[in-house]
């Protein structure tokens, strides 16, 4: 029925008119607010993948836009998504606790630190909060180390204030994959060479953990240099680390993390119940540095084969 014809029947009323218009064209539903820490291709890759795997609507705004106009938080579907640590930190302080918050694309230590700092106002409703980490579970990293170095006996790492809490889980994962764990603590004022060299010398394979308190460009450079000189395979925690010289890494791309975020919304947005506990990436890939592998006389399968074997080893 055309709008002109509809006007000939005033008894239908505006309610029926609205219904018929919705049937004629898709109705605009309330959208989930997605706040990205900054407007960059990396964060946009996360949100693009999220929209692909979520059937609902997403309104993507930058953190600076939200700070300029806090009214953007009003009248939204109740799961708000923060992409990156900066957006997560702001929303933990500003979002009404009647809403639910999903933090994504941030390391586990950052999420735990933010909860310690801003979690008090959420204490009665902690089940309104969840996160998808950017870093990998320790078992997955140890499983890759075992695939890369089948005969290795010891695995080394360095811990700082943020990663100290993961030490018990690291020991458990090392035991599961038949490694002896050797480790040392490294602070900001420590000399990286003096602390790292004897540790790497005792390791058959080395896995640095992401820790902002100790990990910077200088420390990363020394770890790569010493491991290369000692002919110790180094398993990185990012694609960039492999490009810089690490033998291999297991990582999750922005698109893979966005997919998990979209599936999260698809599953939990229609439910008023509690959110699940924070989770590690579900989707991941393995990348290798063939030049570094050859220098260590390692013959590695193709990346796609290592990814498949890693998934099989984690079942």
Q: What is the DSSP string of 197-258?
A: HHHHHT-SEE-----TTT--HHHHHHHHHHHHHTT--BEESSHHHHHHT-SEEEE--HHHHH
Q: Quick one: pLDDT at residue 77?
A: 82
Q: Quick one: pLDDT at residue 212?
A: 66
Spatial neighbors of 220 by CB under 8 A, at least 6 apart, are 208, 241, 244
Residue in 279, 297, 298, 251 with CA at minimum distance from that of residue 132: 279
Q: What is the mean pLDDT of residues 21-31?
A: 47
Bridge partners of residue 288, in order along the sequence: 248
Tokens of 217: 């460009």
Q: What is the mean pLDDT of residues 34-52?
A: 98
What is the percent of the chain with per-residue pLDDT over 70, rounded to a whole number? 88
pLDDT digits (tens, 9 = 90+) for 267-312: 999 887 899 999 999 999 999 999 999 999 999 999 999 999 999 9
User: What number of other Cβ atoms are within 10 A of residue 19's Cβ?
Assistant: 13
- Is the pLDDT assigned to residue 14 strictly greater than 80? no
What is the percent of the chain with per-residue pLDDT over 90, rounded to a whole number? 71
Count of helix runs (H) and strand runs (E) in the chain: 14, 11
Domains of the chain, with CATH numbers? 1-29 (no CATH), 32-134+255-268 (3.40.50.360), 138-251+284-313 (3.40.50.2300)
| Beta strands 248-251; 79-83: pairing state | unpaired
Mean pLDDT of the residues in the chain:
88
Least confident residue range of 39-53, 92-106, 220-234: 220-234
Q: Quick one: pLDDT at residue 5?
A: 44
Bridge partners of residue 182, in order along the sequence: 156
Q: What is the mean pLDDT of residues 93-110?
A: 94
Tokens of 115: 């909860």
Q: What is the mean pLDDT of residues 97-110?
A: 94
pLDDT digits (tens, 9 = 90+) for 207-248: 988 776 666 667 788 889 999 999 999 999 899 999 999 999
- Is the pLDDT assigned to residue 44 strictly greater than 70? yes
Q: Quick one: pLDDT at residue 205?
A: 97
Which residue would you say has higher pLDDT here, 153 or 212? 153
Q: Quick one: pLDDT at residue 19?
A: 37
Q: Quick one: pLDDT at residue 69?
A: 96
- Is the pLDDT assigned to residue 153 strictly greater than 50? yes
- Which residue intervals of 25-130 are DSSP H helices? 41-52, 63-68, 85-94, 108-118
In the chain the first and final C-alpha atoms are separated, in Å, by 57
Q: What is the mean pLDDT of residues 153-171?
A: 87
Q: Quick one: pLDDT at residue 194?
A: 83
DSSP 3-state of 152: coil
Least confident residue range of 68-77, 183-192, 219-228: 183-192
Q: Quick one: pLDDT at residue 270?
A: 80
pTM of the model: 0.86
């Amino acid at each position: 029925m055309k709008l002109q014809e509809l006007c000939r029947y005033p008894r239908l009323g505006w309610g029926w008119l609205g219904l018929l218009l919705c049937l004629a064209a898709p109705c605009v539903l309330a959208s989930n607010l997605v706040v990205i820490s900054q407007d960059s291709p990396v964060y946009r890759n996360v949100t693009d993948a999220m929209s692909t795997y979520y059937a609902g609507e997403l309104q993507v705004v930058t953190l600076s836009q939200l700070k300029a106009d806090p009214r953007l938080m009003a009248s939204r579907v109740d799961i708000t998504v923060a992409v990156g640590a900066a957006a997560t930190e702001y929303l933990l302080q500003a979002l009404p606790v009647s809403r639910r918050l999903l933090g994504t694309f941030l390391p586990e230590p950052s999420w735990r630190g933010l909860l310690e700092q801003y979690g008090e106002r959420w204490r009665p409703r902690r089940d309104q909060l969840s996160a998808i980490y950017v870093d990998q579970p320790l078992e997955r990293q140890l499983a890759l180390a075992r695939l890369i170095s089948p005969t290795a006996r010891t695995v080394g790492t360095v811990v700082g204030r943020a990663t100290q809490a993961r030490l018990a889980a690291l020991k458990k994962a090392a035991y599961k994959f038949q490694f002896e764990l050797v480790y040392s603590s490294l602070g900001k004022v420590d000399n990286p060479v003096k602390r790292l060299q004897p540790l790497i010398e005792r390791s058959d394979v080395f896995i640095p953990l992401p820790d902002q308190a100790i990990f910077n460009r200088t420390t990363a450079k020394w770890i790569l240099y010493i491991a290369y000189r000692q002919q110790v395979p180094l398993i990185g925690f990012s694609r960039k680390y492999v490009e810089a010289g690490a033998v291999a890494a297991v990582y999750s791309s922005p698109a893979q993390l966005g997919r998990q975020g979209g599936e999260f919304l698809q599953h939990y947005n229609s439910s008023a119940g509690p959110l699940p506990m924070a989770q590690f990436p579900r989707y991941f890939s393995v990348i290798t540095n063939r030049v570094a592998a050859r220098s260590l006389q390692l013959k590695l399968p193709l990346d796609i084969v290592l990814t498949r074997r890693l998934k099989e080893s984690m079942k």
